[in-house]
Chain A
Amino acid sequence: MNNRSDTLSKIQHSLTRRNRAEARFRWYGRCAIFIGLLAVAVLFFDIISKGHGAFRATYIKLDIHYDPELIGINNLADNEQLSAGNWQALSKTALRNKFPDVSGRQDKRRLSKLLSNGAGFDLKDHLLANPQLLGKKESVWVLADDDIDTYFKSWLDGDAYDARMTAKQVQWIAQLHQEDLIALKFNSNLFSRGDSREPEQAGIRGAVMGSFLTLIMTLMLSFPIGVSAAIYLEEFAPKNRWTDFIEVNINNLAAVPSIIFGLLGLAIFINFFHVPRSVPIVGGLVLTLMTLPTIIITSRAAIKSVPPSIREAALGMGASKYQMVLHHVLPLALPGMLTGAIIGMAQALGETAPLLMIGMVAFIVDIPNGFSDPATVLPVQIFLWADSPERAFIEKTSAAIMVLLSFLIIMNTSAVWLRKRLERRW
């Protein structure tokens, strides 16, 4: 009797303590999740608050007269005339007509600094697309300079940054603003152009194309090689010390810092095979080396998860081992392999270190159209912009980060979705 009540009181006594321990443990878990979420929220808040401005750019509305004499051309089909034409004069003259009382060399120069130095070339492209405009007048929104853009945005926010502006320029902007001739518009350059040293003309199209070409190259090489390696190791290879040795090595490779693959790529592909520097081919080859272990490991796991009964049934029906693997095991393991491949690709999309050694960290303006055109990739573009002195590149950097993050989120969600959709449970 006595004994029993003793035990009971012991249990009751310890019960509250154990319950408290459990409650505490739950709170630790909640705190951990909260800290993780807080970090993500702070990161997103910081990036979005810095970068949202980059999606809009400052434009100034001018009455452009496409005067053939002023440009110095008479035939729009003559390429030599076109490249020698004085295109900057179009926007400069329009601006001077807007402010006729500006005199003096210095002031005139400051006035023309309101506009982006690419404005003339934009007008040239516009004219070539609409040849009937030659000799006519038109109201055009012309891209403003990055200093003006920075000033105008900060001025609209009520905290004007005018360190790189003169008093006259500030006054001109105020006048334009009063007449509704200066405004923020959607920044299509950000998505349609390659890199530029002028922040207002810089875009991520080149880097996005470069990333795309490099990833296609990586996927084309690493997926078939990785899957074949996984199938052989799982289904055909004898289990002995050699295969153990290979397995250990593959696991080791997955943990090697990515810069090492860059050095390897430099030594093998560039110095030995003479693949040109900075092209998606060499980038894809290097990233293939990097993603192969990930793909092999996930593919092996996917093959392992196919139950042996499927194999035995196939063999029992008289299928050869090759038929068994190709017709039964592989289709069932494919969703898992694809998930692994997508995660490997997402990893490759975020890499800069291995690309540093093979010349893909470079200033490249032209948008790459093929695997052998010089190209750079999105994370490299972010790095290059973050390193630039021009103030306006700060918001561009954050905008490019947003684009990269959204690609990563899309890839990772599609991996989760694929797994949910196609995975079969046994």
Chain B
Amino acid sequence: MFKKVTTFSTVATVAVMLISPISFARESIEVVGSSTVYPFSTVVAERYGRSTGKPTPKIESTGSGGGMKLFCSGVGTNYPDITNSSRRIKLSEFKKCQTNGVKDIIEVQVGYDGIVVANSVDAATMNLTRKDIFLALAEKVPGTNDGELIDNPYSTWKQVNASLPDTAIEVLGPPPTSGTRDAFAELALEGGCKKIGWIAAIKKTDKNRYKAICHTVREDGRYIEAGENDNLIVQKLEANPSALGVFGFSFLDQNADKVQGAQIESIEPTFESIADKSYPISRPLYFYVKKAHVGVVPGMMGYLKEFTNERAWGEDGYLAEKGMIPLPTKMRMDMASKTMSLVPMTGKEALK
């Protein structure tokens, strides 16, 4: 009996060794990238698979940066076809794509995402400005004289702004690896930072110093990195009514009985205020397509068509129901026709 077992497993081992070096022709689309776009692209993938009966695209949540790295590694079925991103492709990434043979990239902006600062419904609603957020969370804040920076001395919101309640500053938010954190730093912290005249002036002379001042978050325990799991932040806010949390709009939308969004410059985060861009902390969401894979990997056009369909990304579409904020109608129409005719990026876009 034992002989049989050993022979069988030897055969199995050899068989596996033989199969492995061969690269498989792929049946399904591979998508990687941002964890913010992930909940939306997964819905599209599922709808596409279910309505056509074709294999459902496989979607990995690797983060925007990780996705770009995989996407730009090369052309061929070993590399992903599409990458999602919660920010625009960077110039360095675009160049890397070009050197690795990924020449034609189709850029599709899909909608917006709002970042909310929320607290428990048991506490009073906060009305913050971006400047308040910057002063409360930055590592260094302006001192009494222009050009002077001191370690952040504020420990309560009242010290930051006399109209705010006298509660301790305690903010739960995403870690630096997260795209949400990047966007929060860029839109909320920098947005408040540049309201301070002399810091805004630095931007022209010393860009790196400006970014260091505006984007660096304090590390004395007032800003608590709560991991990538936004559900966890919601739970912690529920348990601690004096704390604030930073996360994506869709989590606020789903947990309206537990948490409430703070008003930013008197604008409440709602579906409408993010769509018309009056809510200041919102960011565009994208995905990027390898043109060389269209027609090689089956179903690429079908997936693009499903994503850019009105019933998906339109104002009443199912992505809106999942918490994505749609593009304005005109822009959406243009984007859809541009995508379906596979117009690639020229390389002349104003990339950062």
Bound CA span A275–B78, Å? 8
Chain B residues within 8 Å of A, Cβ to Cβ: 2, 5-6, 9-10, 12-13, 16, 19-24, 26, 28, 30, 35, 38-39, 42-43, 45-46, 49-53, 55-56, 58-61, 77-78, 228-231, 248, 250-251, 253-257, 316, 318, 322-323
Contact, CB under 8 Å: A224 / B9? yes
Q: Which 4 A-B pairs have the closest CB atoms?
A: A224-B9, A365-B56, A163-B256, A363-B59
Taking the closest CB of chain A, its distance from the CB of B32, in whole angstroms, is 8
Which residues of chain A are near B16, meaning CB under 8 Å? 217, 220-221, 281, 285
Contact with B along A277-317 (1 / 0, CB 8 A): 11001000100000000000000000000000000000000
* Cross-interface CB contact of B20 among A109, A275, A331, cutoff 8 Å: A275
Known: A79-B53, A197-B42. 6 other contacts (CB 8 A): A121-B51, A163-B257, A221-B16, A273-B20, A281-B19, A362-B58
Which residues of chain B are near A389, meaning CB under 8 Å? 39, 230-231, 248, 250-251, 253-254, 322-323
Q: With CB as the reference atom, state the residue of chain A lying closest to B48.
A: A365
Chain A residues within 8 Å of B, Cβ to Cβ: 79, 82-83, 109, 117-118, 121, 161, 163-164, 196-198, 217, 220-221, 223-225, 269, 273-278, 281, 285, 326, 330-331, 359, 361-366, 372, 374, 386-391, 394
Q: With CB as the reference atom, state the residue of chain A lying closest to B78.
A: A274
A-B contact pairs, 25 of them (CB 8 A): A82-B53, A164-B254, A164-B256, A197-B46, A198-B43, A220-B9, A221-B12, A273-B21, A275-B21, A276-B24, A276-B77, A278-B60, A281-B19, A364-B58, A374-B28, A374-B58, A386-B229, A386-B231, A387-B231, A389-B39, A389-B231, A389-B248, A389-B251, A391-B255, A394-B231
Taking the closest CB of chain B, its distance from the CB of A120, in whole angstroms, is 9
Taking the closest CB of chain B, its distance from the CB of A407, in whole angstroms, is 23
* Cross-interface CB contact of B45 among A82, A118, A363, cutoff 8 Å: A363
Taking chain A's interface residues, is the majority helix, strand, or loop, or is none over half, making it mixed? loop
Bound CA span A164–B251, Å? 12
* Cross-interface CB contact of A372 among B6, B24, B56, B58, cutoff 8 Å: B24
Across the A-B interface, how many residue pairs have beta carbons closer than 8 Å?
Answer: 117
A363-B45, A365-B45, A374-B28 known; A224+B39 contact, CB < 8 A: no
Bound CA span A82–B24, Å? 30
Bound CA span A69–B256, Å? 42
Which residues of chain B are near A198, meaning CB under 8 Å? 43, 46
Taking the closest CB of chain B, its distance from the CB of A409, in whole angstroms, is 27
Bound CA span A154–B331, Å? 41
Q: With CB as the reference atom, state the residue of chain A lying closest to B49.
A: A365
Taking the closest CB of chain A, its distance from the CB of B314, in whole angstroms, is 13
* Cross-interface CB contact of B2 among A79, A221, A331, cutoff 8 Å: A331
Taking the closest CB of chain B, its distance from the CB of A277, in whole angstroms, is 7
Which residues of chain A are near B46, meaning CB under 8 Å? 196-198, 365
